[in-house]
Structure 1
Amino acid sequence: MPETDGDDLSDLPPSAKLVFKVLEYDGPLTQKGIVEESMLSARTVRYALERLEGVGVVEEDVYFADARQNLYEIDLTDCDGDCETAASAD
């Protein structure tokens, strides 16, 4: 039986799954954009992004329009194909 360390998208809280879906549908967004689209608080979005980055499914880039902000997008290179199914299995 393979060991699981809890670093799977299906093990994340619902807020992280919602942020993942927002990024999946709306593409790269700033944290403020994710807050507006998801209607979650800024603190909750920040926590969800930290969890998603920890799992390796979200990538952070510099937002060139305003260098004080970061642009977040889905990074499926480390996902092995089960990110979409894990996010919808809630």
Structure 2
Amino acid sequence: MAHVPDQLYDLPPSGKLVLKVLEVNGEMTQSQIATETRLSKRTVRYALDALRDAGVLRERVYFRDARQSLYSISDSVLTNEPTTMDD
């Protein structure tokens, strides 16, 4: 199971929901996220900003419509395993 970075605990509920939807569905546009979560586009935009600030969001151009972006979870979050400390 992946380790949850500390900055994710401070996310608003909408940010945690968007993170979970991206984890389950993979890459999505803001509109797709809004439809899937039933959150307003404004709330999704706020959640995406919070995820970006936390350093866990990857964004790239959506080639079907260059006005939109595709969002996904950063690989570093998906592969971040907890470290063990030797005493």
TM-score range, shorter chain: 0.7 to 0.9
Paired position in structure 2 for 1:88? none
Q: For residue 39 of structure 1, what is the aligned residue in structure 2?
A: 38
Deviations 1:24-61 (A, max 9, x none): 00110000000000000000000000000111111110
SS in structure 2 at match of 1:8: helix
Runs of 4+ in 1 over 6 A off after TM superposition: none
**Two-structure CA RMSD over aligned residues (Å):** 1.6
Number of matched pairs: 76
Unaligned stretches of 5+ residues in structure 1 = 1-6, 83-90
Counterpart residue identity of residue 47, structure 2: A
Measured after TM superposition, the shift of residue 77 of structure 1 is 1.3
Give TM-score, length-normalised by structure 2: 0.81
Asked if 1:60 corresponds to 2:73, the answer is no
TM-score normalised by the chain length of structure 1: 0.78
Q: Partner amino acid for 1:32?
A: S
1:7-46 correspondence to structure 2 within 5 Å: 8-46=7-45
Identity of aligned residues (%): 55
Larger radius of gyration: 2
Q: Which has the higher helix share?
A: 1
- Could you say which residue in structure 2 is the equivalent of 1:81? 81
Structure 2, unmatched stretches of 5+, are 1-5, 83-87
